[in-house]
Chain A
Amino acid sequence: EPEVTQTPSHQVTQMGQEVILRCVPISNHLYFYWYRQILGQKVEFLVSFYNNEISEKSEIFDDQFSVERPDGSNFTLKIRSTKLEDSAMYFCASMRNTEAFFGQGTRLTVV
C-alpha cells in the first residue's frame, strides 16, 4: 500500500542551526501538508502546498520556515535558525481527494 515516507525519523540539532525535514508524498497525490505536534499537545497545521506553491499557511509558519518541492517527488520543510520551542514531531501529509495520509513523522529535538 502506498505510504508517505519521512526522513530522518529523529533529528537532534543545536539551537540556531538550520534543519531540513524531508518527505516523499504518495505519488499521485496533489496536496501536501506539514503539521507539527509538540509533545503532549495537539497536532497543528503549518502549511499546505498545491500546484507547486504554498496555498495556505498558519501563524506558526513565519519567515523561519520554508517549503519546497525541488524535484517533483520530495517535499521539504526547512527551519532556519532553530529555537528550543521548535522541538516537536513534524508530520508530512499528502492528499488526493479529501482525506490526508500522514507520514511517520520526524522528531526534531533542538538543544
Chain B
Amino acid sequence: EDKVVQSPLSLVVHEGDTVTLNCSYEVTNFRSLLWYKQEKKAPTFLFMLTSSGIEKKSGRLSSILDKKELSSILNITATQTGDSAIYLCAVDHSSGTYKYIFGTGTRLKVLA
C-alpha cells in the first residue's frame, strides 16, 4: 500500500530556532514530492522536488529529496511565529493523471 509518513507529528520551538521536518514515502510509482504549508484552511504550495540531492530554497525555507532513502526534509531556519502551521508532504504517485498522497502533516508551533 502506498504511504507517506511525516515526523515528528508535532513540534514546539522558540523564535529563532531551526527546525527540520521529515517525510518518508513508499509508493509504487514516484514522480515528485511536494511540500505544502497549511495554516487555517488551504494548503499553500512551498516546493516541488523531483531530483535527488538538489536543494530548493525560498527565504528561510529549504528542502531536499533523497530518492535512495525515499525521503525528504524541510528545513526552516530562524523560525518566526508566522511559521506556525501544519506542514504537509505530498507525493505524486500516479502513472496517469497527477495524484497526490498526503502525509498526516507536522504541526509546528513557534513561540515568541
Contacts and interface: CB of A to CB of B under 8 A. Distances in A.
Interface of A: 4, 31, 33, 35, 41-45, 48, 50, 55-56, 89, 91, 95, 98-105
Contacts of B48: 98-99
B25 interface: no
B8 to A, nearest CB: 15
In which size bucket is the chain B interface? 20 to 34
Interface of B: 32, 34, 36, 41-45, 48, 88, 90, 92, 94, 96-105
Contact of A100 (B94, B98, B101, B104): B98
Contacts of B97: 31, 48, 50, 55-56
Q: Which 4 A-B pairs have the closest CB atoms?
A: A55-B97, A43-B102, A102-B42, A42-B104
Contact of B45 (A31, A35, A44, A101): A101
Task: Tell me whether chain B's interface is mostly helix, strand or loop, or mixed.
Answer: strand
A50 B94 CA distance: 14
A104 B101 contact: no
B98 A91 contact: no
B42 to A, nearest CB: 4
15 contacts: A41-B104, A42-B103, A42-B104, A42-B105, A43-B88, A45-B99, A45-B101, A48-B98, A55-B96, A56-B96, A56-B99, A91-B43, A98-B32, A100-B34, A100-B98
